[in-house]
Amino acid sequence: MIRAAVVGMGWMGGLHAGAYQRLSGVELVGVVEPDPAKREALAREYGVTVHTDVESLLDAGGCDVVSVCAPDHLHASTTIPMLAAGARVLVEKPLATSTADAQRILDARPHADALTVGHILRFDPRVIRCREVVRSGELGEIWHVEVWRDTTRAVAAAPSQRTSVAWFLGIHDADLVRFVTGLEVEQVAAAGRAVLSPHPDVVYANVRYAGGAVGTMENNWTLPDGRPNRALAGLRVTGSKGLIELDLGHVDLLRSDATSSVRLDTRTWPSREWTGSSNIQAEVGAFVAAAEAGAPAPVSGEDGLAAVRVVELIHRSLDKHGAVVS
């Protein structure tokens, strides 16, 4: 049996814990949650020991694989001890909130495949097919790329007090563009403003890529909460021979009555019980399969570092009120 654990049992941690419990040949042996108010309920729900910190988990025997779903600024301090203990680690995006911390994590790997970064869009069948088209050369020379990810204000309620929309949402798009197109960012000129929190809640970035392609990145979490679909997200890649458009913000399944609508997402975030295909399940499954086989990490630490660099450039541009180069 593969022994699995989860560090950080917020909403995302719960998704990872459930994914492990649905995999054959995997035993969830423990979770880490520092909030004492949550521990008793978590122990009942998952039937495992709830540890107060990573050290307690390691003292109890550790694990073979672990998902780090702690708050972003704690990723280095929670990931590095697990790598040192010999576990394979799946750390949620962003890998870290600075290139310095991201590099510290990479340097702590006993080998390159010990670390996987949770860029979930790489497991979306729509994204994979889009990548195949772009990488095949069907679009010719890539001229420009637009990517956007906007959500409702409810999404911002908790994370906006500790991070920016670029780190929470834009990190997806930084990796998405690179994964689909292979383009590397050379220059960023960003503008943004804080309207809901102490951090930028609206960010627009003009981007220049190596080879001459240009593009934009748009992120906000200011949409009214009354929208039945809480996200607008997508990607458009235009080349000399055509374009491809990817809609990532559609409602998979919408149930409505006389007074309200409820999103029953069957693809990415199962709203209730486990049904059908889920990108989280695919991500965790690929991570475990790689660990079992001693195979390469599904999403490398270098991929995670590259996305962190882009968002760090965006913030440097916001601070300078001008363009910055990589």
- Residue 208: which CATH number? 3.30.360.10
Q: Cα separation of 311 and 298, whole Å?
A: 22
Which candidate, 296, 279, 326, 284, places its Cα nearest to that of 174?
A: 326
Tell me what pLDDT residue 111 has.
97
One domain for residues 114 and 131? no
One domain for residues 210 and 172? yes
Q: Cα separation of 31 and 258, whole Å?
A: 41
Tell me what pLDDT residue 240 has.
94
Which helix H or strand E contains 325, and what residues bound it?
strand 324-325
- Residue 22: which CATH number? 3.40.50.720
- State in Å, rounded, how far the first CA of the chain is from the last one: 44
One domain for residues 210 and 102? no
β-strands 214-223, 142-152: how paired? parallel
One domain for residues 217 and 237? yes
One domain for residues 110 and 128? no
One domain for residues 269 and 293? no
One domain for residues 318 and 294? no
Q: Cα separation of 248 and 271, whole Å?
A: 17
One domain for residues 204 and 184? yes
Query: Which pTM was predicted?
Result: 0.91
Tell me what pLDDT residue 264 has.
52
Stretch 94-109: mean pLDDT, rounded? 98
Asked if pLDDT for residue 258 goes beyond 90, the answer is no
Q: How many domains does the chain have?
A: 2
Which helix H or strand E contains 189, and what residues bound it?
strand 185-193
One domain for residues 213 and 286? no
Which helix H or strand E contains 54, and what residues bound it?
helix 54-59
Domain with 50 in it? 2-120+281-298
